[in-house]
Structure 1
Amino acid sequence: MTSTAPADLRPDPPGPDGAADLAAFGYRQELHRSLGRYASFAAGFSFISVLTTVFQFFAFGYAFGGPVFFWTWPAVLVGQLLVAACFAELAARYPISGAVYQWSSRLSNLTFGWFAGWIMVIGQIVVVAAAALALQIVLPAIWSGFQLIGSDPAPTSPDGAANAAVLGVILLVLTTLVNVVDNRVMSVINRVGVTAEIIGAVLIIVLLLTHSERSPGITFHTGAGSTGLFGALMVGSFAAAYVMIGFDSAGEMSEETHHPRRTAPRTILVALGSAGLLASLIVLGGLLAAPSLTDGHLAVDGLGYVLTSSLGDGVGRALLVDVVVAIAVATLAIQTAACRMLFSMARDGQLPLSRRLAKVNPRTGMPSAPALAVGVLAAALLLLNFASPDAFLAIGTTCIVMLYLAYAMVTGPLLVRRLRGQFPDPDGQGGTDEEGRPLFSLGRWGIPVNAVALVYGLFMTVNLAWPRAAVYDPTGGHWYFQWFTLLFLGATVAAGLLYRALRARTAVEEAPEAVPASYA
């Protein structure tokens, strides 16, 4: 359905660099186009959020993999760079909000693309909740007063899990407000936060490497209690897989970015590459600088323990403050990405309450209803933490699986298009960007890169979703956490099927809907 907007809508700025291009896809410029290259990079980098996710999952990766889990980071980075390269090509050709939904729909058909978007947006909402939970990893370590419930700050304890939910809800209230105010405010917060995070990450790397207690050779050891090298790598890869997602956010923000056909492909790759490199070095530095690899602290307290014990309380706590900033900005960026996905699907009339979800405030350039919806649903997910500490891991793993599956629902149809010779110019609109230069393209490497990216994505989806009792239900008695990812994914697909069935049943009573231009 072609998007509608108030008659007095004045996109800011109204330049032709994106509005006319967007019109070719059947949409009007409603979101304010005010983001530059660094803001586009910040959107992807802040979703990945090196400090948030490394601090959040370092302890888990080490507990199951030992020092050898370091090697999962470069391995996952290479695999995700292949996926990102495919996405960069699509971002250059389809510069539209709701990236995964739009790309999958236009490469396959609207029904398949709808399920890709549906799985993606539910996964993004879960990621918002998981990111907000990360505050528990660092705030109590900075000051015990942040432990509002009980006395045990460990996220795996009942007190820590409940406190994580409370802190997470408070953060979600703040990020929801920012996502309603104005996209300029959101962009400024993102850019400042990402700059602070990059500076903090570099400082952490330098300080950890200069306080090394051992040589890098330790990374070839699995550690006590691991399940062998293969098992250590498979489970240890969860941490890296959780970190290196969300790089497609630069594509999500295409309708708010100047020269998106040129900017988005590059910022997708740069955001993932820089974040993956920084994350790998932080993990290596943490392993080398940890006072001990066998006293149990690394598997419970993670990098926070390394910073405060190796660098001293003063320096360690100061760096943890920077981590708090990164967590807040990451939660904001992920919520923003989910909002754009909801908005994109809603303006096509593809969601319940579509008219409300597709409404953009002409003054702020922000879709307010999606922000409220994502905030409320993510906060509801946090309530699972009151049920059991194991919910933390279940939520974290579920969101990774959802995003990996949605990514495969893009790389799969893209590979089919390539094999049919219908790519890299699928819409017949030419091969140049806003500056008249050739669009980003993998050229003759397109098919092999795409094929490996698809196989990698499907393999990691199965690996992450596998119901390992030792991982998801270590204390026993909570079978639903062991199967939580598959149950949640099944419920998501079932809810989607039910909605599509009800929608098809009532479609005969409604006027036929126009389909946006360029859907194949």
Structure 2
Amino acid sequence: MAHAASAPQGAGTDVSGQGEPKPRMARQLGWYASFSLAFGFVSIATGIFTTYGSVLATSGPRGIWAWPIAVIGQLSVALVFGALAARIPISGYSYQWVSRIVGPVWGWIMGWISFAFLGVVLVAVDYTIASTILPELFQYVGTTQNAWVITAVVVLLQAVLVAASTRTTHRVNSVAVTVQLVGMIALTVLLFAVGAFTGKLDFANLFETGTIPESGYFALGGGTSVGPFALAFLLGAFTIVGFESAANMAEETKNPARVIPKAMVQAVLSLGVLGFLFLVAITAAAGQVSGVGESDTPVATIITAVLGSVVGKILLVLVVVSIFSCGLVITLSGTRLVYAMSRDERFPGWQLLKRLNRRAATPLNATVFMMLVAQIILAVFSRSTDALFHLFSAGTLLPALIYAGTVAMYAIKRRSLPASQGFSLGRWEVPVLVVAGIWLVYELLIFRDASFLAPWTYVLVLFAIGGVYFAGLLFRRGRDGLTMPDMADIDRALDAGDATSAGPAMERSAR
């Protein structure tokens, strides 16, 4: 099977031999851009800053020990995704993989879940800027009203940047990821060094439960409840997601079958190690800082107490940069998914959403659509005082469903998959699948807790909307009308820039 490494690198149009040149997304992303996509989406600064307070409240300081377990689980998922990306390097990741390997019906379901996830997680990360960080940074009283307005503006800015230029978007993201890497490493080193010098590190605090009772701490819980330690897994589960965004840019990446798996795995590993060191540093320091449990921004409170107010402010600026970068990658990934499904004529309004802008060679209509979806989700959640908890819970539940479905598909169909062109699990395939399966089942069982009723409601509402549309799609076309293009034809079309053989929608995507 041909892969897409030989596609033209700088072209913004393709010529099919019929009529005028058609817009085409150029292959311009190398390894660091691909790594930055995975790293920027995951964004440990965003995830830890957003959820650390919840971990202290539900699991106590000891809850940070759930992080390395979650890293191992998510790394096993990233390895499976890497093996799939090396076999099917095309925009749409799980939607494309499941459609071509299991069938178009299951593929559409996976694509719709992915769309629901990207919509809600975009609002979740951007809402953090408005609801917690800016009020702390500029010392004003945050309300649901001003948080709504600020988040709406941030979402709009990200959409404008993504629609205007893919190259500029990646440059902004690469710079932001570099700033985040350097900043998080510097903060971690400073916390350990200054904390040790001033005696503000209490490593015994790493094993304390805080206000959480010791009795039943590791209990599995009941039918509608989970134990305190189980809830701590949400820190890693919410933070270490989105690494697959690199795979969603496969058609714009040079040598994607080799570059993308490497970028995803390296992003999860580096984030996992750096994130845990940072968690150890702030948790050890938290034992010597008063008022952490009552703070809306406990990470900033700890940093300020140990390193001073100036460094605390710098941390907040770093988090704003990281969150904006994270939202930028989510917007980019969401538009590519909507474009991919529309190109296959399987998304509501596909006639408009499959079009590429001639000047920028970006899916402009799909970008505007993702922005509007995010604004609607924001309007639904923003009046709630618990909006941030509900948003990040939904942003953890949905990727768990995506990962579980994709890993299950790989396990069942692994012997009939296309040949890999750049990455293979080899003899580690079965152990990796076992670890990934156990981890994902355990993670999904956490969401039986009654506190997750709102996220489940969001998921069910989105499923109902998608179900109505898909039922109409099946009624109009029938199951046979949803057959995906042959994978070899897709690859050949991407290699040659021939839009006419890549499926019925690809040919007409510029109209």
TM-score range, shorter-chain basis? 0.7 to 0.9
1:515 and 2:484 aligned: yes
* Residue 69 of structure 2: aligned partner: 75
TM-score scaled by structure 2? 0.85
Cα RMSD after superposing both structures: 2.5
* Residue 44 of structure 1: aligned partner: 38
Deviation digits for residues 90-126 of structure 1 (CA, Å, limit 9, x no counterpart): 1111110111111122221111111011001111110
Q: Distance in 1 between matches of 2:236 and 2:449?
A: 19
Q: Distance in 2 between matches of 1:441 and 1:119?
A: 27
* Residue 311 of structure 1: aligned partner: 307
CA contact (8 A) 2:23 2:358 kept: no
* Residue 445 of structure 2: aligned partner: 462
**Mapping of residues 13-412 of structure 1, within 5 Å:** 13-14=10-11, 30-135=24-129, 136-144=131-139, 147=140, 151=141, 153=142, 159=143, 161-212=144-195, 213-226=200-213, 228-230=217-219, 231-290=227-286, 292=288, 295-297=291-293, 300-412=296-408
1:444 and 2:441 aligned: no
CA contact (8 A) 1:13 1:34 kept: yes
CA contact (8 A) 2:137 2:313 kept: yes
Where do 5+ consecutive residues of structure 1 fail to align? 1-9, 21-27, 154-158, 433-438, 473-481
Q: Distance in 1 between matches of 2:411 and 2:287?
A: 48
- TM-superposed CA distance for 1:491, in Å, is 1.8
Q: Distance in 2 between matches of 1:241 and 1:95?
A: 25
Q: Distance in 2 between matches of 1:172 and 1:12?
A: 30
Q: Distance in 2 between matches of 1:208 and 1:331?
A: 27
CA contact (8 A) 1:55 1:137 kept: no
Q: Distance in 1 between matches of 2:57 and 2:137?
A: 23
CA contact (8 A) 2:76 2:435 kept: yes
Query: Cα gap change, 1:198/1:60 in structure 2, threshold over 3 Å: closer, same or farther?
Result: same
Q: Distance in 1 between matches of 2:8 and 2:428?
A: 39
Where do 5+ consecutive residues of structure 2 fail to align? 1-6, 16-21, 220-226, 490-511
TM-score scaled by structure 1? 0.84
Query: Cα gap change, 1:57/1:338 in structure 2, threshold over 3 Å: closer, same or farther?
Result: same
Q: Distance in 2 between matches of 1:519 and 1:119?
A: 26
Q: Distance in 2 between matches of 1:11 and 1:491?
A: 42
Q: Distance in 1 between matches of 2:382 and 2:459?
A: 22
The count of residues paired between Structure 1 and Structure 2 equals 463
Greater Cα offset, 264-273 or 370-379: 370-379
Identity of aligned residues (%): 29
CA contact (8 A) 2:295 2:301 kept: no
Greater Cα offset, 221-230 or 76-85: 221-230
Q: Distance in 2 between matches of 1:129 and 1:66?
A: 27
Query: Cα gap change, 1:54/1:174 in structure 2, threshold over 3 Å: closer, same or farther?
Result: same
* Residue 25 of structure 1: aligned partner: none
- TM-superposed CA distance for 1:235, in Å, is 0.9
1:499 and 2:495 aligned: no
- TM-superposed CA distance for 1:461, in Å, is 1.8
Query: Cα gap change, 1:503/1:65 in structure 2, threshold over 3 Å: closer, same or farther?
Result: same
Q: Distance in 1 between matches of 2:94 and 2:63?
A: 30
